[in-house]
């Protein structure tokens, strides 16, 4: 499942991605790609699907390849990895971001279980300010979501014992930690989780609404 406030993603992924990075896709044409890149309805977030090579033993997959990213016009250096375990269905982590100069690009994937992964556009200059994209990531579909700086990120677990892996382009800085309320009606995320049973940290239930957010990006 891939959705936004305006519906499903459509269009040729490389053609649409090329609008963000003109000419960047040319190196991918005519060769086997280990990573598939798909632009979404909101400029910035990118859906990535690594190829699996399987046999009777199992499978092998390159989950990240800097060369493939470069050829797709994505020039990002990841400096920190993280790993989370959420034991219960309905666990919500978010919506998080870091303020400059510690703003982070993120790459998110699931090694076990299933999540609804969400990115909210906080760029005030963007025509999509306040809109979001929502993508189902799972160990089965093997997809990843790249979330650039300028977006708040969060997810809801759809299966028990779900494990999520993250890559960041900047280090965690508690002094620059910020967020926006997960169930802000002005954002309107359809979490597919019963709000009365949602499991959140004490910190995440206190983030401000978008209209009260002072840390939005230019």
Q: Which of 168, 175, 171 is nearest to 153 (CA)?
A: 168
Considering 75, 83, 153, 166, which one is annotated as catalytic? 166
Considering 75, 76, 83, 96, which one is annotated as catalytic? 96
Q: In which region does residue 26 sit, left (phi positive, over 0), alpha (psi from -120 to 50) or beta (all else)?
A: alpha
The answer to whether the CB of 90 falls within 8 A of the CB of 106 is no
**Where does 51-192 have alpha helices with state H?**
66-71
Burial (Cβ within 10 Å: 0-12, 13-18, ≥19) of residue 129: middle
**Cα torsion for 191, 195, 201, 207, to the nearest 10°?**
80
Our measurement of the distance from residue 146's CA atom to the centroid of its chain's CA atoms, rounded to an integer in Å, reads 5
β-pairing, 46-50 with 52-55? unpaired
172 is catalytic: no
Please, which residues have CB within 8 angstroms of residue 57's CB and are 6 or more apart in sequence?
A: none
Which residues belong to the active site?
96, 166
């Amino acid at each position: 499942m891939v959705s936004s406030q305006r519906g499903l993603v459509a269009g040729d992924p490389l053609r649409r991605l090329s609008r963000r990075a003109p000419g960047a896709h040319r190196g991918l044409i005519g060769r086997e790609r280990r990573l598939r890149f798909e632009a979404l309805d909101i400029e910035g977030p990118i859906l990535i699907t690594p190829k699996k090579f399987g046999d009777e033993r199992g499978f092998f997959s390159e989950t990240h390849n800097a060369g493939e990213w470069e050829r797709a016009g994505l020039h990002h250096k990841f400096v920190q990895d993280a790993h989370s375990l959420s034991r219960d269905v309905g666990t919500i982590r978010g919506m998080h971001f870091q303020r400059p100069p510690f703003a982070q690009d993120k790459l998110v994937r699931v090694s076990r279980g299933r999540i609804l992964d969400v990115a909210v556009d906080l760029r005030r200059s963007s025509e999509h300010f306040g809109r979001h994209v929502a993508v189902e990531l799972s160990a089965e579909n093997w997809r990843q979501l790249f979330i650039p700086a300028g977006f708040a990120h969060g997810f809801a677990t759809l299966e028990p014992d779900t494990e999520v892996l993250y890559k960041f382009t900047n280090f965690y800085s508690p002094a620059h930690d910020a967020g926006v309320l997960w169930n802000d009606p002005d954002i309107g995320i359809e979490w597919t989780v019963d709000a009365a049973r949602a499991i959140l940290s004490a910190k995440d239930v206190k983030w401000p609404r978008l209209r009260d957010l002072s840390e939005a990006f230019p």
